Chain A
Amino acid sequence: MKIRFLSVLIALLCVLILPDTKFRSYAAEKPIRITVATDATWPPMEMIDENKNIVGFDIDFMNAVASEAGLEVKYKNTAWDGIFAGIAAGKYDAIVSSVTILEERKETMDFSIPYISAGQILVVPKHVQGIEALTDFADGAKVGAQIGTISAFEIKKMEILELKAYDDIGLAFEDMAVGRIDGVVCDTAVASNFALKREEYKEKFKIVGKPFTEEHYGIVVRKGNTRLLNLINNGIRAVQEKGIDKELEEKWLK
């Protein structure tokens, strides 16, 4: 009885674990079919629509790159903190998730050529006056951002502020709507999506000041995966030459 139970258990384990490993080794041999991770909590760059599909500027852009480069892409929604650990561990082949190209990050991963520029910007409640930048806050003000993002790093640099690091940016905005935090820092595109376009937040928030960083987003591949990197870079160049990126900016970011 015990043996039977054990063998059933083992069989069950195999069924659950094997498909994943099989897929991974297959993907490693033929990078033509790739899995791309994205943290779909970053509208309008990447998000989940009402039909549970991952959509957004990054997704459309990646699809355009893929069709230029002859890749077949499967997306995997992945939490932001840990998204870089996943690529190092080989859980997917690339990341397209508004990843800013940073020198520190280059040590552990490879970046494609930049595909769009952005900056960090501050969002505060509408009734607040006299705050134009992080330096205008009083000592001990609480400012929210997503964990592990440039926004969080920028807040942390300001020693007088208390950083509230959230799992996703939506939680930070919700907390500010309730009045628990004094400001939220995020990318310009995301800020305008939350503060200008959303019905429930439009009346509550405003964007203040100018973007205070200048950043470029890149597609991430595993360190040393030059073959895929070259394919993606060529794809990005082709997309930019055809002007598809401008169309997509018009579609998602205007």
Chain B
Amino acid sequence: MAQIIRDPQKNFHNPDIAGVRAASGKKDSRRVTAWGIAFTGAVAAVAYLVIFKRDPYLAIFKFLPDGIAVTFQVTVSAVLLALIIGLCTGLARISENKIIHLTASVYVEVIRGIPLLVQLFYIYFALGRIINIPAMASAVIAMAICYGAYMGEIFRAGIQAVPKGQMEAARSLGMTSVQAMRHVILPQAVKTILPPLGNEFVALLKDSSLVSILAVSDLLRRGREFAAESFTYFETYTMVALLYLIITLLFSRLTGIMEERINAGK
């Protein structure tokens, strides 16, 4: 994770990394084209299949929307919760209080060492014997806890990338360390944090397909139900893949726009 979180200013002097960063900036036209091709291609493919190959694509297309809604619901709630967990973890990881630091570090180590699928099973079925969490809630909690650990590392690295002098300067102006963090460090850290965070959003969206094992009727589950009943595996999964592609492309564009906004306000 750490290698992608670099100060954009520094990267400017490094041609390799500058190239990578430019690919996500607005000046470079290559990514826009690639994104455009992928997006128009996916939308056109869906439209073509639904209009000209009605049987069975239209039926599949009509079957899936509530699954898309559930996928969105899981992703958005998990992202919001993961952001909060991530920020707290990130701050705790740079805390000078040893207990807080150690707790957060252990959390990150443990969660990053367990596959998300196993965590989902664990929270739903293993802990289900003790506390009864509804399927949707356990899906969101499991994804948020998992991604919270990854985001915590992004926040930590982003905060640490802000030159030390900034904190010292803010403190010498009479700010408390909390004030300095809120008004000086975090606003600067956001610029470095946002690109990798955007990647995490998209990754989380794709990983949300794992919640279908909890009998949560997300996009993949709906697709599997349709395919298992109609035996149209090829057609159904083609449609599911295209719809996931469209959603992830929209999300990545959205984070791209947010990045541009923040960089423009520099």
Contacts and interface: CB of A to CB of B under 8 A. Distances in A.
Nearest to B223: A81
B135 interface: yes
A178 B129 contact: yes
Contacts of A84: 228, 231
**Chain B interface SS verdict (over half):** helix
Classify the secondary structure of A's interface with B. Answer: mixed
B8 interface: no
Contacts of A80: 228
Given A82-B233, A85-B233, A171-B215, A178 B225 contact: no
A152 B221 CA distance: 13
Interface in B121-153: 125, 128-129, 132, 134-135
B215 A148 contact: no
Nearest to B129: A178
Interface string B217-228: 100010011011
A48 to B, nearest CB: 17
Nearest to B134: A180
B97 to A, nearest CB: 38
Nearest to A85: B233
A144 B215 contact: yes
B125 to A, nearest CB: 6
Contacts, number: 56
Contact of A174 (B128, B213, B224, B227): B128
Contacts of B215: 144, 164-166, 171-172, 175
A166 B124 CA distance: 13
B138 to A, nearest CB: 10
B231 A81 contact: no
A244 to B, nearest CB: 32
A171 B125 contact: yes
Interface string B101-128: 0000000000000000000000001001
A171 B227 CA distance: 21
A180 B135 contact: yes
Nearest to B133: A180
Contacts of A164: 135, 215
A108 interface: yes
A87 to B, nearest CB: 10
Contacts of B217: 165
A174 B228 contact: no
Contacts of A153: 229
B66 to A, nearest CB: 12
A174 B125 contact: yes
Nearest to B230: A104
A179 interface: yes
A166 B120 CA distance: 14
A147 B132 contact: no
A107 B56 CA distance: 15
B229 A148 contact: yes
Contact of A179 (B132, B221, B233): B132
A170 to B, nearest CB: 10
Nearest to A81: B228
A85 B231 contact: yes
Contacts of B221: 147, 165
A81 B128 contact: no
Interface string B221-258: 10011011101010000000000000000000000000
Contacts of B228: 80-82, 84, 147-148, 152
B231 A108 contact: yes
Interface of B: 125, 128-129, 132, 134-135, 213, 215, 217, 221, 224-225, 227-229, 231, 233
Interface of A: 80-82, 84-85, 88, 105, 107-108, 144, 147-148, 152-153, 164-167, 171-172, 174-175, 178-180
Given A165-B215, A178-B128, 6 more contacts: A81-B228, A84-B231, A148-B224, A148-B227, A166-B215, A178-B129
